[in-house]
Amino acid sequence: MTIQLDAPAVVRAGRRSRRRRSAVVTAVLAVATLGLFVLTLMVGSFAVSVPDVVRSLLSPGADPSADFVVRDLRLPTAATALGVGIALGIAGTVFQKLLGNPLASPDFVGISSGASMCAVSTIVLFGASSTVVSGSALAGALATAALIYVLAWRDGISGYRFVLIGIGVSQLMLSIIGYIVARADIHEAREAMTWLVGTVGLAGTGELRVLLGALIVLVPTALLLERPLRSLELGDGAATALGTRVELSRFALLALSIVLVGLSVAVAGPIMFVALIAGPIAQRLAGPASSVLASGLVGAVIVLAADLVAQHVAPTALPTGVVTGIVGAPYLIWLLATVNREGRGG
């Protein structure tokens, strides 16, 4: 007896299964993010229970001491970790999918380095306030991205060329940073190096509000741009056939990612490797239908967990970027070996 399969039905069933997996994983990641966020508000030299945390967040006033610890001391750090993680996770996965290269992370293509160079310049040369430093970091990210985009343009943007030029620009920016720090006095050099490592505990109220306010707009925008992003993954020809305006969509996606990276660096400094590893982890968990939201939640989990380890597990308090660097460096080595072996680097 011959069994005939309904090919369209099989395709639809497979699509529903992938979407269901992605939705379940995204929901689990959201719960994990919320749990780590609450845990960040609980632990420390003054322990706060879960009910007290919830009460302080939703209806403050019953316990002034708990309110002070939760809302004034710990909430800014937790909110910064959450916002920075989401921003880096989304930006990293958009870069990698758009440019078709697993190494296409803002950490390595000059965006973070450009932001850092401008921020360090304002710290060392002008002794600027934190607000000015944050603004200069965002401006540096945008200016560096524009430079890379212009240099990489040859009747369109090639992911391989964009990455190579970005790496070159990144090395130039890092050289300038090294020169500026070497010429600084000891106090300014220490302040600059602390900022360069990246930590979520230094953000001012104004910078944090800008980041969170921007995410309210940019995260839905990223979700709206996810369809053209999936089309562009298929190649320019296929994307055009599907009705996607290739260069306009690519420019919008790059601009979105650059603003997200610039905002995160402006608030917390260059926290390395989060943008590199969040997208691949999300895709491993959620499958081919993984969304940019899942990548953002993975980024938030990484940054929140890294800050908890840096502040409460390590023998002495560390910047958040130290922990993400310890986790991300082995992954980068593995990725470089895999890309070289499989021939996916270009």
Digitized pLDDT (tens) for each residue of the chain, 346 residues in all: 445 556 677 666 767 777 888 889 999 999 999 999 999 999 988 888 888 888 888 888 777 888 888 888 889 999 999 999 999 999 999 988 888 777 778 877 888 888 888 888 888 888 777 778 888 888 888 899 888 888 887 766 666 778 888 888 888 998 999 888 888 888 888 888 878 888 887 777 888 888 999 999 999 999 999 888 888 887 777 878 877 787 888 889 988 998 999 889 888 888 988 998 998 899 888 887 788 999 999 999 999 999 999 988 888 888 888 899 888 888 877 777 776 555 554 4
Residue 68 lies in a domain: no
Residue 44 lies in a domain: no
Residue 312 lies in a domain: yes
Structure tokens at 181: 């720090």
Residue 18 lies in a domain: no
Distance, in Å, from the CA atom of 146 to the CA atom of 229, rounded to the nearest integer, reads 20
Say if CB 330 and CB 61 are below 8 A apart. Answer: no
Please, what sign has the CA dihedral across residues 141, 145, 146, 147? positive
Residue 279 lies in a domain: yes
Q: Which domain holds residue 308?
A: 81-341
Residue 48 lies in a domain: no
Residue 223 lies in a domain: yes
Q: Tally the domains of the chain.
A: 1
- CATH at residue 175: 1.10.3470.10
Distance, in Å, from the CA atom of 28 to the CA atom of 47, rounded to the nearest integer, reads 26
Which residues, including other chains, have CB under 8 Å from residue 184's CB and lie 6 or more apart?
A: 124, 192
Predicted TM-score of the model (pTM): 0.89
Residue 254 lies in a domain: yes
Say if CB 141 and CB 114 are below 8 A apart. Answer: yes
